[in-house]
Chain A
Amino acid sequence: MRLEAADRVRAGVEAGSSFEELATPLLKPLYNFARWLSHNDHEAEDLVQESFAKALKSFSSFQQGTNFRAWMFRILRNTFLTSRSKSLVHVSIEEEGEEMLLPPDPQTPESILLNSGLHERIQVALGRLPVHFREVLLLCDVEEMRYQDIADTMGLPIGTVMSRISRARRLLRGMLAEDELRVAR
């Protein structure tokens, strides 16, 4: 359904491409993703750097013709999870208890979207989202990955990806609606 050919260009997946040719265009999106995950400039740089190093090391095993972009994002995501599992701050990537976080459906989504400052408010809300919701929205909405590529990146069944996207958007809208009410008071 999506940009089949364009995705191939964006992923840089052409037979015989070198690692540099494939990886370099992904520097900025990977950094953006890493920064959103880590909330820290230096950690984001370290994540990207380490991911590039890991990817280069494993590049010989990468299957040309498959989705290089999803592969790189998967490496970065795993690097992030590994770094956090080593630290004292534990970041849960599981869905356990996530239903408790979901607010009721906002009643006036149009009013949310028509208000000023939405750009900044979405950024704040994105930053507040639990990381497993944040990452799936970043991959789907910002990176415009197909569901299957997101599933490959996150190592999840596609059905789980779809339900997580739906929950993430519901949560995001709930946050924006709450913010709207708070401002109106």
Chain B
Amino acid sequence: MQGLIALLEQRVLKKFKGSFMSEYNHPYKDVDFVIKEIVEFDSFCQNAGLEDINSEFASVILNEAAKLGSEVIAPLNTTGDSQGSSLKDNKVQQADGFSEAYQQYMENGWSSLTAEEEFGGQNLPNLFGTAINEVWQSANLAFSLCPMLTQGAISAIKHHGSDSLKQTWLPNMIGGQWTGTMNLTEPDAGTDLAAIKTKAVPNDDHYLISGQKIFITWGDHQMTENVVHLVLARLPDAPAGVKGISLFVVPKFLLDEQGNTTSQLNDVHCTALEHKLGIHASPTCSMSFGDNGGAIGYIVGEAHKGLSYMFTMMNHARQDVGLQGLAISERSYQQALEYAKERLQGTNKDGSRFSIIKFPDVRRMLMQMKASIEAMRALAYVASNETDKSRYAKTAEDKAKHFSRVELYTPIVKGWLTELAQEITYLGTQINGGMGFIEETGSAQHYRDARILTIYEGTTGIQALDLVGRKTLFDKGEQLTQLLSEIEQTSVDLKQYPQLTQLAVSLENAVKTGQEARSWLLDNAQTDKSAAGSVSVNFMMMFGYICGAWMMAKSAIKSQQKIDSGEGESEFFKAKLVTAQFYFDHLLPRIQTNMAIIQAGSDSIMSLPEDQF
């Protein structure tokens, strides 16, 4: 009887902790594996001289974040989607429950994770930020954008602001009492920011800002006492184009002498909210600055350097959006897997029924989701740790080496992960069958929410251009060559394990294909000015699949070692081997298609005259 009562109580407990509703469980086993075995975080910490920080501590912190994520933030995902946010009297009202969840997020100090100690941050490695952002993003993508944008704003002020600007704005932003936004886009200036028209006029110790901004994520809300906008604008004497743009801090409420928020509104407000395909709970605002004479703003760094300041944050912001591709895929996979195990749609000879996970084609889809997600996670975390390696490097040479790797990974992480997320959330919905098309199952939301990811923070096309242009043609393919030689080394390592020789051959061939694509690009970009742009997306996707294969190969080696030594849970490592095999069988062959398309060049893409469209 006691046992029964205890069982009932555990159920009550679960319910009271929200886990019945959350539908999101942190994939701690895979995360742990990637941090320990693929990133090899412990040896990084030792080399970097980070005391007290190791993979065990990472798991403690992640465990706590995962509780908040799955029990508090995830249950708001569905309501946020159906309710969205609303605009009344120029004030944006966020979805129900978001404010309370944000309070908990703030009070538990998560906003301070990677920020500098000087301003109240915990100064933990970038990898922690990545692993923990995955939690918020999987739990509730729309919610997670608010802290993410704040992190970007913090980073801009930290890197480029004057001391007094940092003292004034950073502590409350790092503490989470104020959130931040990025005001870049204007109706006529999206990808081409050179066209920015917003004006900034000097006035005493500040500037008066006026203009219109659109697509401002979390541009207004009632969750915190203030919102700090970072705004790109032009000074009266600014040169034309990208070299004439400056960056300003513009608060929603003005501060008093002591730097506390007052009730006096600045001359900035939200004029409209966009109706969107996904991320409904994230208010996408049109912002109007200076309707009544000018919003008070303070310049960040020097005049006319705003756009280059934005570029320093770009690697981080873009990798973070890549991570969102992983996060939404994980959520979609968990939902689809649960459905596949529960949905009875087959009948045995004895009349009993079985669930759809027994069907090979459902398995194929689940395996594709699983294999993609594991490769994506490993790549996202490895790329994130490169930032740490660069930061803690002991020599300038080492620092530059890792920074170049960050630069190279960024368009791949952003482009490849978010493109893969489209396919994975599509499969998630497909596994659900008709029920996937019905909103109530939640699958459709993941599919819709994922759609923005290939667009914002630089479209897939922009990422691909970055990879072929600044990251490859610019250095004559030097970085890519280094990356490919490291991958080649892994194919040599694979050969030490008789069970993995097949993977070794495939990886070796993949490296060759990558080298061919690189050479093709370097050769043809000289003679055909449309070549790079025409092949760029296939080029980027190819390197995504090759990097993914590299990660899966490393994971196979580690798993084989664990199985051979009898250490740990063999089932988990056996599953890793199968998943790596699936990746090599089903995803890696796509690079042959990419290669064929690359070799076709720009002819059939560009030869049709415009008036034939």
- The answer to whether A and B belong to the same complex is no
Residues in A lying within 8 Å of B, measured CB to CB = none
Residues in B lying within 8 Å of A, measured CB to CB = none
